[in-house]
Structure formats: C-alpha cells, structure tokens
Chains A and B, each alone.
Chain A
Amino acid sequence: MGCENIEFDQGWGEMEKGIEKLKRILAGEKETPFTSREYMTLYTTIYNMCNQKAPHDYSEQLYDKYKKTLDEYITSIVLPSLKDKHDEFMLRELVERWLNHKIMVKWLTRFFHYLDRYFIIQKSVPALNEVGTTCFLNLVYEDVHPTIQDIVLSLIDKEREGDQIDRALLKNALEIFVEMGLGQMNRYQDDFEARFLQETTNYYSRKASKWIEEDSCPDYLLKSEECLKKEVDRVSSYLHSSSETKLIKKVQHELLVVYVNQLLEKEDSGIKVLFRDDKVDDLSRTYRVYNKISQGLDLVANVFKQHVTIEGTAFVQQAEEATSNQASNTPGGHEQVLVKNILELHDNYMTYLNSCFQNHNLFQKALKEAFEVFCNKTVNGSPSAEILASFADHILRKGGSEKLSDEVIEETLEKVVKLLQYVIDKDVFAEFYRKKLARRLLFDRGTNDDHERSILSKLKQQFGAPLTSKMEGMVTDVVLAKEHQSSFQEYLRNNPDVHPGLDFTVTVLTTGFWPSYKWFDLSLPSEMVKCVKVFKGFYETKTKHRKLTWKFSLGTSHINGKFEPKPIELIVSTHQAAVLLLFNASERLSYSEIVAQLNLAHDDLIRLLHSLSCAKYKILNKEPSSKSISQSDSFKFNPNFTDKMRRIKVPLPPVDERKKVIEDVDKDRPYAIDAAIVRIMKSRKVITHQQLISETIEQLSRMFKPNIKAIKKRIEDLITRDYIERDRDNSHMFRYLA
C-alpha cells in the first residue's frame, strides 16, 4: 500500500461493504458479527482518506457521506416501517427502530471515528453521535411525535382507569422524547409533558368533582392518598423523574386544594364529625396529606379554627340564653358551667393538637385565635374577665360547690391561668380577682393559703409581677394581721383596765394592696367606740408613723338577739349591727331618726334596713310592711322573730361592683400606656411612630390591648408635657426629651 493515495470512490466502496453488512445485521438477516480485522480495515480506510494531502483529504466528503448514509437508511427502511402502524404497535415499532438506529450510529461512529477527533473540532461541526440523533430527529421524530404523544397519553389514561399496560414500552418511548432534546429537556417538556400535565389536571378535576359529592371525607382522603401514591409510582416506572414535582402538585391541587373547604366542612363526615367521633386516624391522615402540599396546612388549620370557634361560641350562647331565661338574681351557675365547658374544650383540642397535628405551630395559632374569639364575649352583661375571676373564686372558697381534692383544685386553677391567656382584658380580670380575693380573705374563714399562693405564683409566672404584686401583699397582710391580733390580745391581758368588755379582733391591712372601699362616716354604737379607742392606744405603742382608717363596712359582728321564743345569735355586718343596737335604746324608730343617729347616706341605709326587715329574716318589723324601704317608714324590734337554728347569718347583699371595677380599670389604663411609652422612648431615644405603636401594644399585651387612638392620645399628652417631641424633619419620628 505505502504512500499511494486512495481515491474517493475506491475508499467509499470499501466503506459501503461494511455499511451494507451492518444493515443486514440490523435487519436480522443471517450475518456474522464484525471481526476485529473487518473493523480495523474500515477504521483505517477512513483514517487514510483523511490524512492524505490535499486535494485528496476527503474528510468533508466523508462527513457528508456519513450523514447521507443515515438519512438514506431512515428514508428507505425506517419510515416505511412506521407508516402503517397504529397505537401500541406503532409505539413498539418506533422503539425498535430507534434502538436499531442507535446501534447503527454506534457502529458507524466507530468506523468514522477519526472524523470525531480532528475534523469536527477544526470545522466546528456537530460530532458524529449528535449528527446521528439529529438525522432521526429531523426525519422521524418531527413527523411522528404528535401521534406518539396521543398514543402514550391514551395508554396512561387506560392505566389510570384500571387497565394493565406495557410500562416498559412506555418507558422506552418516553426516553426517546428525552433523547431528542440533545441534552436539554425541552422536547420532553414541550412535546409530551405539557399536555400530559393538562390531561392529568382534567382527569383529576373530573374525578374530584364526582367524589366530593359521593364520598365521605375520610373516604375521599383515602382515595386521594391512593391516587398520589399511584402517580408517584407512575413516575418511577416510566415518566422522567423531573415530572414528579409538577405532577404531584397538579394532582394535589385538583383533589385537595380546590375542594378543601367542601371536603373538610362536609355535614356528615367533615372535620367537626371527626372530632365529635374522636376519629384520630382520619384526623391524622388529614394532617399528613395536607402537610405535603405547600400551604396545605394553612387550609386545614383554617377549618380547624372555624370549627373550634363555632363550638366555643355555642357554649357562650348557651350560657347567655340559660341565664336570661331565669330570674335575674340567680347566682352565676350558668357561667360556672360555661367556664367548665370551655376548659374541657381546651383540654380536648390540646390533645388533638398533640396526637393528630404534631403540635404544629399553625394549629397552635389557630387554636389560640379561635379561643380569643369566644373568650372575650360578654355573657348577660358580665365580661369574660369577670366570669373567669368568679370561677376561680368559686373554687377557692372554703369547700366550693363540690368537695374537690387538692390535686383537682390545683389542676383546675392551672387551667384557669391557661385560659386567661386568651382573655384580652387581663387587667379587668386582675381587678375582679382582687376584689373577690379580698372578700375571701376577710370573710371566708379557713381559706386555703397554699392554693391562694399557688394560683398567684402561676399568674405571676405567666403574666408578670405587675398583675399579682398587690394580691400577694394582700395574702401576706392577712397573715401579719393574725400576728398583730395575738399581740393585741397580749396587750389586753397585760392591761386589763383598758379592756373594752367586748370580744373583738382587728385586721390591719396595707391600704395600697387592697381594693379601695368607700369610707362611711358612721356613728358607732358606744360599745364599739370604746373598742376602737383601746385598739388605737395599743397600735400607737407599736408604731407612730402609720395612720389607721377604719372600714367598718368590712367588719362582722355577733349580736345576741333576745327574742321571745328563744335567743338567737345573729351574725351581721358591723353596719347592720349599728342599726340593730339603736333599738336597745328606743323601741321604735323612724327612718329619719335612724339617718340622724347613724349618719349614713340613703342608698346605704336603705340596703341595710331592707336586709333586716324585708328579706329572709325579719329582725325588725317595718311600718307599713311593704316590700321596699321608703323614707317615711318606721321600724320596731321584732320580739317574735325565730328560726330553727340558734345562730344565723343575716346576709347583706353586696353592691354590684362590676361598673366600678370597669371604671377603675379604664381610669388606670392611660397611666399604664404613658409608662410603657416613656419606658420605650427612654431606651430607644429615637423611634418611628409605627414602631412606637407596635412596641407599646407588645409591652402592654400581658395586661390589655390598647387601641391605637388611646396610644395616640397619650403621645399627644406626653408631647405637651415635654417628655417626647416630634422630629422637625421627619414627622413620623419621635425623640425622647431627657
């Protein structure tokens, strides 16, 4: 051979031999595989033809011939084979032809390999492999891909409806789409995936609209879970992995997002029924399924919130209706029931939160928001803060309505504190609680100190010291007062000549801790005047720097009534006692005479006289004996009064303090807002209006929720008082003035 140039036709003739052999192999005809020798000959032919000196360097022509060979093969063999086939058969044929084509390209590439090494780089033309794919793409794929897409989609549809299909075939077919992208996914996406996703959407939209009518909520969820599983399986079986996210999203949307409210609010099987029937599994499934959808849990949490809100509000309504159906003076039995119901509701849903909803913060938030709705409603004029305080009071009273064990009491008090977090007007609660605490400490002998301190420390922990500091002072006061009292007894023993002759105890309280009580300029009976004087004498030996203000309205007296049938001991308030003792000196007294002697205001006196002459126990006889007191009435001691007991308590109904409590709290709020603003300004020095507002609300949130107008008013006031000023250049900024 040596250095002789190979002529093109001659060389190509050699190649053609090899090519024909290859075609025969591909056609399945009897042929021996290529031997090493044959391969080397073909390779070398190309090599030589490319390394000859110009004009005998045939690289370009060979490159063209390579392409033409493929084109010609496709046109003459491949296309006709596809022409008459349909459906699955066409798919099968195409897959086979593509496989063959790839083999052909593989072998031809080997023969023509030398072109890949230099020519394609030199001329910046596509590599042989790429040319191979492009030929198929242009001549076959462009022609058939719409039909192929149709066939594939209809097979998928068949499978969705339950039929078995040839998954391997589909996998191979779809791989063609991918490979036709020459490294990009665009052919797969444009020629198949886009329509596939659309048809998937349509398919599941149809199914969903049918199932939502027919199926129960749990069944629907089960079906949805199944469908999603199947689709994931579909991807791993024959779709390209990149389709998974898009596909699942579409399916989730059609099945679970579009109909979420209808689904979860189903009358007979929706969320509320699942809760009612304690279907923990179904609830967990709901969470699980929606957790996989972006923002899916928001949807469920929303339905959850509405459900809880409706339940809570129903209890409130129940209490409202029950109370208004009864006489107005019934003690708040219905409110007690309401609080019990709400506590139970809370327990229940906290359990669900943990067992079904993984304590997810979206559900925590939903629960909180739901409770905030109905825990701030007024029931028959009583604000929720008062109701809660009454409930706590009821439990802490000696005995309560049922004999509860210490543990149960502790538990319940803990729950009350938890419930308080949902009440916005915590300062109103604190004030009602304080008033009731005062009554318990002063009148309810035998209150359990441990429980009292325990709930106060729980409140302090949750809501901070400002809420409870005064109350703690009150509890301590009572303990100290007992010590004082022992001291006083000792003093009396040591000074028998100053003993007033009456058995009496004094409870000294620190004014600042206790609720404010009206002061009455009551003229005491002389026996009591003596007592007061003696105590004053004693107290001055103890301390010179304190002033005593006597609140007789809080006192209790035991009076022996010498009634004709039998003597009875009367337990009355000191004010009532003052009225009764007047009758030791006079048999009959008119209203005006009583007023003159006692020096009380009409409202107060009427209440007292009513309790002694028109209520359950008629200690005094009234002329005329009408049901209410008028200023022209007269009163006489009733000697015939009797009762089966030897000792009775004559109640004096307390004045309705609700209005005053709310007034007092309202009066204090501006000061609290002022303090918060000044604190914030002091630490920040300069701040924007928005931030000031939001930080003020945040700081005060443990006590109440100030509205923006109230805060703005305080800002105005603080500006007038030169605590803060508005920035000259930035009208929305404020500066602290030291």
Chain B
Amino acid sequence: LLQKKSDVYSVEICGTKDLEKTDIGDEEEKYKDLKGNKKKKKAEDLKKEVELDDHKLSASELEEKYGTSINKGLSSARAAEILARDGPNALTPPKSTPEIVKFLKQMVGGFSILLWIGAVFSWISFGIQLAQGAESPFDNLYLGVVLALVVILTGIFAYYQEAKSTNIMASFSKMIPQQALVIRDAEKKELPADQLVVGDIVEIKGGDRIPADIRLIFTQGCKVDNSSLTGESEPQSRSCDFTHENPLETRNIAFYSTTCVEGTATGIVINTGDRTVIGRIASLTSGVGNEKTPIAIEIEHFVYLVAGVAISIGVLFFIISVSMRYKILDSIIFLIGIIVANVPEGLLATVTVALSLTAKRMAKKNCLVKNLEAVETLGSTSIICSDKTGTLTQNRMTVAHLWFDNQIYSADTSEDQTTQPFDQSSPSWTALSKIVTLCNRAEFRPGQENLPIMKRVVVGDASETALLKFAEVILGDVMSIRARNRKVAEIPFNSTNKFQLSIHETDDPNDKRFLLVMKGAPERILERCSTIMINGKEEPLDSEKAEAFQTAYMELGGLGERVLGFCHLYLPEDEFPDTYPFDTDSMNFPTSNLCFVGLLSMIDPPRSTVPDAVSKCRSAGIKVIMVTGDHPITAKAIAKSVGIISATSETVEDIAKRLNIPVEQVNRREATAAVVNGMELKDMSLQQLDEILCNHSEIVFARTSPQQKLIIVEGCQRQGAVVAVTGDGVNDSPALKKADIGIAMGIAGSDAAKNAADMVLLDDNFASIVTGVEEGRLIFDNLKKTIAYTLTKNIAELCPFLIYIIASIPMPIGTITILFIDLGTDIIPSVALAYEKAESDIMNRRPRNKRKDRLVNEQLAVYSYLQIGIMQSVGAFITYFTVYAEQGFLPSTLLGVRVDWENNAINDFEDSYGQEWTKHQRMYLQWTGYTAFFVSITIQQVADLIIRKTRRNSIFQQGLFRNKVIWVGIFSQIGIALILTYGLGHVTALNFMPLRFQYWFVAVPFAILIWVYDEIRKLLIRRYPGSWWDKNMYY
C-alpha cells in the first residue's frame, strides 16, 4: 500500500520537476509543456462539478447578461455575430484516426515487423542470387511473397475486427435536434438547431428535444425526461423557480439533448454546442483515454517474448554462421528461417477467433461484447462498480412492508409474485386494503388481462403503481372493486397537503355511510388521526400507540423504504346523507380526527438473482462496489439486501451506534463496510479516497454525481484493480470509457452509454455479469492452452535450422513447410482449444493478478520450449534420419555434407552404398525429408493438442471426447497434412513430396511419450501441490 502511495507522490514530484525545467528550457520546450499542462487542466476542470449560476439570476438579469430581450429575442445581426464567435450549436466530432493509418498500424503491429524483415531479406537474397545467376533463386522470391501475404492477410483480418467497434461520437451527434422555434427580431422563426446562439429565446413544447442548455423563463406544465443525462427515468417537472443550488438539480434549467415530455416552455439559451452540459460530458468521454485491455497487455508481453527469442536466436546464429565461414547470403537465409520458425504466424488470428467465439457464447447469455478484447477483461475484473437502479434492482417500486395491528409484515417483492403470504385474516387488513384500493388514481392500461400482474403497464406514478399492483395481487380485480365503491369526491396529492383523499360510497348495500380514505406522508396522516385501528377496533391514539407508530415508521424508513400512512373515516350517515354535496375546494367534510389504519412501505426491490450473483462475485474474489445517486439509507438497505454489505459487517456509523460513542472515536479499520456520501467525496483528497477503497471491503457510494463516478473508477484503478463499471445514462459514459470494461444496460441504457461501453447487458441484469466473468476466466485459461500448444512446435521448427547450421546436415525442413504448419495444420486445433471446458470451479478462485499471473509465464514458455518442444524435435529428427537412411544416406554420412550437398555442380554425390546422386535427385530426397519432418510434427501436435486440453487434471478426468471440436481439429490437422502430402505433392514451389505411408507412424511412439510424460507431470502436480515440481511445471 505504501508503495502504491509513493507512486502517486512521485508522479506529482515529477510534475513539478517538469515545470522547473520549463523555466530554464528553451522556448520550444516551454511551449510544449504549457500545452501539455493546459490539456491536463482541462481534463481536471471537466471532472469538477458543473458550474453555472444562470439559474440563480432573475429574468431581467439574464436579459442583461446575454444582451437579449425576452419578448423580441436577439437581432439577426447580433445572432450572426455570436454564431461567428461561438461556432455552431453542435458537438465537435472527435479527431478520428484516418482509416488508412489504422490499417497501416495493423500492418506493422505484433509479429508483422519481424515477418516484413524476413520478407525483405528474402527479396534481397533473391536479388543477389539472381545477379549471381544461381539455379533456383525463385524460392526466395516466393518465400518473400508468402511472408508478405501472411502479414497483409492477418493485418486485414485484424483491421476488420477493429473496424467493427463503433464510434462513440456517432450517437451524440444523433441526439442533436433538427429544428428549433426561436424568437429573433421579434418574430418567431423555425431555425436549424445548430444555428442557435447564446441569448436566443427558444420555445419548446411536449415532444421536442431541447435544442441547447436553456434557462426557463416561462413554463406551463412542463416536464422533461432527463434520463439520457442523469439516468433518472421519471419525468421531472420544470418551472421558472430557482429550486436548488446545483444547476443539475434546479428546476429552471432544461438541458441540451433531453426531451420535453409534456407542456410548453420558453427560455433563454445559455450554452451551446460543446459548452453544454452534455457537450462537456461528450468531450470528457472522448478525452478519457482508452485503457489498454488486460488481454492486449498480455498479448503484447507475449509478442515481445517470442520476438525477443526470435531475434536473439536469429542474431546469435547469424554470428555463429558467419564465424563458421558461411557466406553472408547463406547466413541471411538462415536468419529468415529462424525468424519464420520462431514466429507463430497464425496465433494472433487464432486468439481473435477464440475471443470472438467466446463473445458469441456470451451474447447468448445476454452479454453483448462490442470490443473483442473485453471478453477477457471481465474475467480479470477485480472490482465491479455497479449502478443500483435497474441493475441491482428491478427498477420499479414494490410494496415491501406493511404495519398494522402494531406489527410489521413483510411482503413478497420478487419479480413474478402471484400471491402475498403474510397474514391477511385481521379486520385491520381488510380496512387497510380498502384504503389502498380506493385511494389510488393509478389504472391498468386496458387490454392486458392475460399478462401477469407484475408485467402490466400502469398509468400513474411509481408509488401508486406499486400499490395498485399490490392490491391487484391480493384482492383480484381492483377496477371492479373501485366500480362498486363509487368515488364521489377526490383531492389528488399535492406537495403542500402531502396527502391524497377520496370519498366513496361503500359496496355494502346496508351501510349508507360514505367512506373517506386518505393516504400520505405518515407523520401528516397521523396528525389528522385521533384513533388507531387495532385488530379491527378503533382505539384512542394515546402516546404509547403513537410511540409504536414512530418506532415502526423509523424502522421502515431505516430500511430505505418510502413509507406511506393510511387512514379512513366512515362519515356519519345523518350528517352526510346520500345527496350531500361534497366540495373539495371548501373541504366541507372532516379531515381530522380520522382513524389511523396502517403503514405501507415501498422500495425498488433487488432483482431476485442479484444476491446470488453478488455472493458468486465474492467467492470469485471480486469486490462489488455500489455507486448510486440515491439516498444513502436506501442505498445501504439495498446493499444489505443483495449482500454487497454482508449481514455481519458494520460501517463506522454502525459501530458508533452500537458502542454509543461519537463517530470520530471509532477505529476506522474495524469497519469492513462503508457508505460514502457524494458530498463527503467532493471534499476528499485522492489519498483519502484511496484509503477508503483500501480499508473497506464493502463500499457503497451514495448521492454521487457522474463526475464522481469517474473519480471512483480512477481510484480503484490506482489500487491496481481491473475495474468493471455498469451504467446506463449519458452521464455514465466517461466512467464507462475510463473503466477497464464498461458495461452498459441494454434496455435502460442510453445510446451514448452503449457506445462508450465495451459490453452491453441485454437484460440489464447484474447476474449476467457473473456469467461474463466466468466466460472471461475460461477464455484466459484456454488462451494459455492455445498459446502453449502453438509455441511447442516452434522448437521443432527451429531445431532443424540450428542443427543444419551446426552439424551441416541437409536441410530437414523448409521455410514454406513451416508456414504450412503455422497457418495450415495448426490453426483449427488451436481454435478448438477455445471450446475446452473449465478444469475446476473457476469462480472459486481470486481474479488473476495483473502483474503476476501472466498469460504466458516462464513455466509455460520453458515447458513448451524446452521439454515438449524438444521431445517433438527428437521425434521429427528420427523420421528425418529414417527417410534418408532408407534411401541410402546413413546418419553418419549426413554430418558435415551441407556444402557438397547443396552444390549444384556436384552431380555424382555418393551415398553410403556407393550410389551416385545428381543435385536434383538430392533435392527430391530433401523435399521428401521436409515432408517427413512436417508429417512428424503434425502427428506429434495431435498429442500436444490432447495434452493441452488440461493444465492440471488428467485428460481422463476432463474427458477425451467431451470437447468434440478438438476432434474436428485433429481430423482437420491430419486431413490437411494428407492433402498437402499427396494432393499437392507435385507442386514444386511448395516442396511437398508424396511420402511412404509408414513414415507417418515413425513419430507415433514419441507422440505417445509426450502424452504419457504430460500425464505424469499433471499427476505429480496434483499429488504434490506447492512442491518444487508444481512450481516449475505448472503453467
């Protein structure tokens, strides 16, 4: 931890050093540095809260500030002036890299450089040989062309994959409204929205998109849908009043790109284009650097490793061959061979295919992956910053608790409830249910009788909807109950009364009394009551009962639930006869001394799959952090109910409460959980945030703003964590982009969020992330297997060159032949390993450590290169020597013959039996040797493929036939080898020769040996975990 912190400091120190340097540096450097600082500052600025004060100003002050008139608007001339100054009201698209640059980048990335070098060397040696008039210089020309083709084709493949991912800004530009109604020169005009300037007076009506950031000066029933900006799904009313310090919360500002749902409004444009709130978020998103994905880092590491091996062996043997007095030209040709043998040409394409296979599999499980590499990122994730609403919760209010007869009852909050299990026998419940049913304006949209109650669409606000559905579930047809209890008068809920009231006839034909029902804020309701119903009987509301009410109210409130109180009164028949004219304005009926019946509390309940998913994350070593804009109490309650804060852990405040000491005295380390308020976060230093993230294992951030989400993500990343972030609003997009993997919600998510994200959850369900994690971990393991498989044969391809140089034997395998292994026989089997099932419960281990658990570690490289690879080489050499010996060249005669063997002028080369060979006859034999070597590698790669199915378990535990694709791989491998050997055996350029059938079996004993050896290795690893063997042999 200390180390990490010092890292942070050192960065700062370096920063000041840079500044000091600038002072003494020359002009150019100064300029450069200033520019750099400016950029940095801009990013910091953006992270701060939006600063605006226009919502505090009065209309006349605004007129003055923007030099406009509310009635006449700007003059066209003035508007043109401002337009020239500020630019059009549109978001600047980000600078995109030209396609050709992207393409060229693919051409030089990865192993491409090495292969280009190989190709260029090939052409150089072709040129030299051609000039010297050698007999067959075209081999090198072909080789160069083939190498170039390999690079170009893999480059095109990679480019195509990259081009699939979409542009973030595209969706932002889609949000721009087309036309706006503007007052200019005292006339109303339709203008293209991008012509708007600051100070314009704009009129909006229901259905319009807000054309710019607007300070409202006149409204009529105006409501806006801010969901694309803040993620809040409920339409918010807009007025001209300054209601909140925070410009994002105040009612008198409407934001660019949000929608006006109903009503009309007029306002002054206060910000346009990139200076609007959404514009700033957009620029923040494109300003946030895209982090390299963990798998990209791993692949880079792997490429460096292999390229390092290739170059160092190549150079080493170049030096050796030069000092062994080989011609420089020959040495160059050796170098090409060594590079080609060392580079797994097909591997990067294989990795891409494996990732896209996993992506497809994940898409079936509702995780749509946009960026292929993100497939694995989810597997390495160590922290998930999750939204609450919609992701962890069902995103709808549901009745969770009831309080009547001095007792709290729990209600079922699951997604598909059909009954309610609590005790409904009390007459108090009958009374309460009547109020719930009647005192409610929400209605089902007609024509949904066949749908489950929970899925029906309701007209009404969230609480009323919850109550309506609750009543419908318990009582059945609510609408007919309402019809039987005709409503005679009603006062809808308003913010001053804080209650809702209605008066009904009763459905009891013998009871001619009217029933007055009321619901509202519990304390307001209680004020109006003098009695309370206990077990169906009205009892006076004494202080003891009021105390009981308070306790219940506090308890339910403490659960983060929205509590409503319910009361009723049967109006005496004599005072209120049938014909009594109820007047809601004068309230000619009693609204006090009512009878209190009970409380109902509602919450947006967690999805039923979430607690399980959270506990899975926990056992998988993933920390789940909740980041929400909600109230801390609600947030904490949900966190507790889904297990983000486990039952036993306490926050500092909890401990303080339990020990009855001030919060300051609590040892912060004792608290495992923390609930951090956005307000506190605002004043925190980065160090304090780091401390919180480090010290608490269970964290909830409440009342956070979008910018803070970004800060939290960065904080987590400073801990070295791989961070996944979920989000749905536009405001989430910077954090989604910044995260190692951004997860947008498919249903609730805005386009911008989906664009910024690497992954989209089609069902908005947190549990789907867990599936994703599992797939991600599996693909990491399987890629290890794929790479181990691919690297192994590189040694069998390399050894021939080394021994050829050292022992001067005829060339055992040709460069083109190697390419046929790398890009032919080996491709399908290495993809097949991606289909391998997990060896053990991958969800029970910790996420991999980014720094320690490499994709390609020493053990993997050493085991593949120095053990299995060498065994393969031995097997292949046996075949090679067999072919030569059976044709007349015993092994002893082969040593040191290279120069004569390759001499075109020697056409009576004597073999071990006294026969004489022409050069061409020798070449045919050499190509037969190539083919034999190739076939042997292929046969042993079959064994290699089988052993790579598992890293620890026995193949028999894993099941030899469970992964059918492996068998497709094996058959394709052998099939391709057969076609090459017998089908294309007469194409000279390919250097394949039809081979005697028995040579296919020479390497079989070695293939079996490889299998047996690997089984022994795995057995010892399982038997002696942690032993020397385990440490050195487990990759």
Say whether A and B bind each other.
Answer: no
Which of A's residues lie within 8 Å of B, judged by CB? Answer: none
Which of B's residues lie within 8 Å of A, judged by CB? Answer: none
